[in-house]
A and B are shown apart, each in its own frame.
Chain A
Amino acid sequence: KQEVTQIPAALSVPEGENLVLNCSFTDSAIYNLQWFRQDPGKGLTSLLLIQSSQREQTSGRLNASLDKSSGRSTLYIAASQPGDSATYLCAVRLVYSGAGSYQLTFGKGTKLSVIP
């Protein structure tokens, strides 16, 4: 069974710092990996999706990398701002396996606080 782990569970940094969030998964047979942001009391917003054939994706100050063979992904946030404070979740989609093909397996998230 695919397991997704995110370490640390919480992170507090001063404004302006560059930071890295980590995600690891146990089964490397994935279609893609997604990073989401969740604000308190809100749903998930998709930030980046990396296909299994890709090594990284970038959007603004965000850069996500994927090393499928080692089962790891990182989300790099440059020049952090207080508005980046949220919980960040990663999720993987396994390759087709019948009923499981449409499912995402989520990590429990990293709660980020950016201190002004």
Chain B
Amino acid sequence: NAGVTQTPKFQVLKTGQSMTLQCAQDMNHNSMYWYRQDPGMGLRLIYYSASEGTTDKGEVPNGYNVSRLNKREFSLRLESAAPSQTSVYFCASRDLGLNQPQHFGDGTRLSIL
């Protein structure tokens, strides 16, 4: 069972470079999410997509853009990477319903030099 798949798993960028993090889920879930996890800060929501064709900002959207390409795929783009964006990025998905749990991928570890 694949669940939520994130690529790449690791990436090192230089300041100012751009990059797209990919996420795909095979559970036919409507909602998808991007989080970042930083030491001492916990997980913070960057963007989410409640359904195909919609996206909304979360708690920390600055410096990021997202695309809900289809029901399966939700990508996160850094247009001009900054050292402050060094983090572990997690994608998650969730089925319809008030009390459905979120399912997470294994993360992308991103370092900006």
Whether the Cβ atoms of A108 and B102 lie closer than 8 Å is no
Q: For residue A4, which residue of chain B has the nearest CB? A: B42
Which of A51, A99, A102, A109 gathers the greatest number of chain B CB atoms within 10 Å?
A102
Q: For residue B91, which residue of chain A has the nearest CB? A: A43
Please measure, in the bound complex, the distance between the C-alpha atom of A108 and the C-alpha atom of B41, giving whole angstroms: 7
Whether the Cβ atoms of A102 and B31 lie closer than 8 Å is yes
Q: Which of B11-19, B67-75, B77-85, B103-111 contacts A (4 or more CB under 8 A)?
A: B103-111
Whether the Cβ atoms of B106 and A104 lie closer than 8 Å is no
Work out how many contacts link A and B, with CB atoms closer than 8 A.
57
* Residues of chain A in range 83-116 having any CB-CB distance to chain B below 8 Å: 89, 91, 99, 102-104, 106-109
Known: A32-B99, A108-B40. A103 touches B45 (CB 8 A): yes
Of the candidates B43, B57, B99, B104, the one whose C-beta lies within 8 Å of that of A45 is B104
B63 adjacent to chain A (CB < 8 Å): no
**Which range contains the number of B residues in contact with the other chain?**
20 to 34
Which residues of chain B have C-beta atoms less than 8 A from A107's C-beta? 42
Whether the Cβ atoms of B56 and A34 lie closer than 8 Å is no
Which residues of chain B have C-beta atoms less than 8 A from A36's C-beta? 104
Known: A43-B90, A44-B104. A31 touches B99 (CB 8 A): yes
Of the candidates B40, B50, B56, B107, the one whose C-beta lies within 8 Å of that of A43 is B107
Query: How would you classify the secondary structure of chain A's contact residues: helix, strand, loop or mixed?
Result: strand
Known: A99-B57, A103-B58. A46 touches B103 (CB 8 A): yes
Please measure, in the bound complex, the distance between the C-alpha atom of A45 and the C-alpha atom of B106, giving whole angstroms: 10
Whether the Cβ atoms of A46 and B102 lie closer than 8 Å is yes
Q: For residue B43, which residue of chain A has the nearest CB? A: A106
Contact with B along A19-52 (1 / 0, CB 8 A): 0000000000001101010000111111001010
Known: A42-B107, A43-B107. A104 touches B102 (CB 8 A): yes
Which residues of chain B have C-beta atoms less than 8 A from A109's C-beta? 42
B8 adjacent to chain A (CB < 8 Å): no
Known: A43-B106, A108-B42, A109-B42. A102 touches B48 (CB 8 A): yes
Interface residues of A (CB under 8 A from B): 4, 31-32, 34, 36, 41-46, 49, 51, 89, 91, 99, 102-104, 106-109
